[in-house]
């Protein structure tokens, strides 16, 4: 059986240390310094550190000490440390008060519950979202269609891990293309291990972020350079219902087990399947959350594979291939 590690918080020795202490008691409560085997040296050091053994250099022996006395001493130290931590916890808001007042004094656009507040510029949007998420206490809902950039994931990681570690719930929706992104897979696996929920929905859906079911953030421009911050309870409630509907249809993913290269290789097949259904290049790009350039590259490879000259001919040939 593996030895139980020493509990540094309580000061208790591991199993080997306990067995050695019992052995010392069996020998009358003392053992000569010179007779300690080399293999027991770590256990002896533990017992000395805890205070269960005291080296008596005059008599050249280790002497056992009452565990009751040691327990009372350690218990007193722990109670004192706990009282000190409680005092510091009580003082913390006051110690940070001047910083809090400075933070609250920053000029901000007011979130009028009766109308949406618009923020222009991606940097200002990110800053406002970071402020809201840092104050999130209960739940964060996010719908993130399209691919995720490594820099975006790096930024989100620190923010989102802090959120779930302080006890807030988090649910995120992605589209299937993120399954080919190693950086997103690593982030999603780590967040899932922390208790967050991340699913994949193979359908078009709109980008949104909802904080504590009180404020919703949605794009107000196609290039995401403008965002609407909505705090009207009725509007936010509708957006939450839309998110919950999509969440219920989304797939649970074992993020740590995904083979990103294999998923990337299958992207062309997904493009081909949609072309065979009669979708245009632009419609395929919208459906999959890909750029039209990426879809065009997949179509070029499919044309070469099927010997198609036009997009219509490619769709026709692929429909025939699916029936064979």
Helices and strands: H and E segment counts in the chain: 12, 11
CA–CA distance, 311 with 300 (Å, rounded to integer): 10
pTM to 2 decimal places: 0.56
Instruction: Give yes or no for a contact between 3 and 16, defined as CB atoms under 8 angstroms apart.
Output: yes
Mean pLDDT of 38-58: 85
pLDDT (tens digit, 9 = 90+) per residue, 179-206?
A: 888 889 999 999 999 999 999 988 889 9
pLDDT (tens digit, 9 = 90+) per residue, 119-176?
A: 999 889 988 998 899 889 999 999 998 888 888 898 888 889 989 998 999 999 998 8
Any idea which of 30-39, 142-151, 272-281 has the lowest mean pLDDT?
272-281
Greatest Cα-to-Cα distance within the chain, rounded to the nearest angstrom: 99
Q: Is the pLDDT of residue 323 over 90?
A: no
Give me the sheet containing 53-56, strands edge to edge.
30-32, 61-64, 53-56
Instruction: Give yes or no for a contact between 6 and 14, defined as CB atoms under 8 angstroms apart.
Output: yes
Q: 259 Cβ partners below 8 Å, 6+ apart?
A: none
Instruction: Give yes or no for a contact between 219 and 198, defined as CB atoms under 8 angstroms apart.
Output: no
């Amino acid at each position: 059986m593996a030895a139980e590690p020493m509990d540094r918080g309580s000061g208790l020795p591991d199993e080997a240390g306990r067995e050695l202490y019992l052995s010392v008691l069996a020998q009358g409560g003392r053992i000569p310094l010179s007779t300690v085997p080399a293999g027991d040296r770590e256990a002896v050091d533990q017992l000395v550190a805890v205070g269960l053994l005291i080296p008596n250099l005059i008599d050249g022996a280790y002497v056992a000490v009452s565990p009751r006395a040691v327990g009372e001493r350690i218990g007193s130290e722990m109670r004192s440390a706990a009282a000190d931590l409680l005092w510091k916890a009580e003082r913390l808001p006051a110690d940070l008060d001047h910083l809090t007042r400075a933070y609250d004094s920053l000029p901000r656009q007011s979130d009028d519950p009766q109308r949406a507040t618009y923020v222009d510029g991606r940097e200002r949007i990110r800053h406002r979202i970071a402020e809201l998420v840092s104050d999130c206490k209960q739940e964060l809902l996010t719908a993130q269609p399209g691919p995720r950039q490594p820099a975006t994931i790096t930024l989100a990681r620190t923010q989102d891990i802090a959120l779930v570690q302080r006890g807030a719930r988090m649910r995120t929706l992605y589209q299937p293309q993120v399954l080919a992104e190693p950086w997103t897979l690593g982030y999603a696996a780590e967040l899932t291990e922390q208790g967050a929920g991340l699913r994949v929905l193979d359908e078009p859906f709109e980008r949104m972020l909802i904080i504590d079911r009180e404020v919703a953030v949605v794009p107000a421009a196609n290039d995401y350079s403008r965002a609407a911050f909505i705090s009207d309870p009725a509007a936010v409630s509708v957006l939450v219902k839309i998110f919950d509907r999509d969440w219920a249809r989304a797939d649970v993913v074992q993020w740590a087990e995904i083979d990103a290269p294999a998923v990337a290789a299958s992207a062309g097949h997904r493009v081909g399947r949609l072309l065979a259904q009669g979708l245009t290049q632009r419609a395929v790009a919208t459906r999959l959350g890909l750029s039209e350039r990426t879809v065009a590259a997949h179509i070029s490879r499919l044309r070469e594979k099927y010997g198609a000259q036009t997009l219509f001919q490619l769709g026709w040939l692929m429909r025939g291939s699916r029936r064979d």
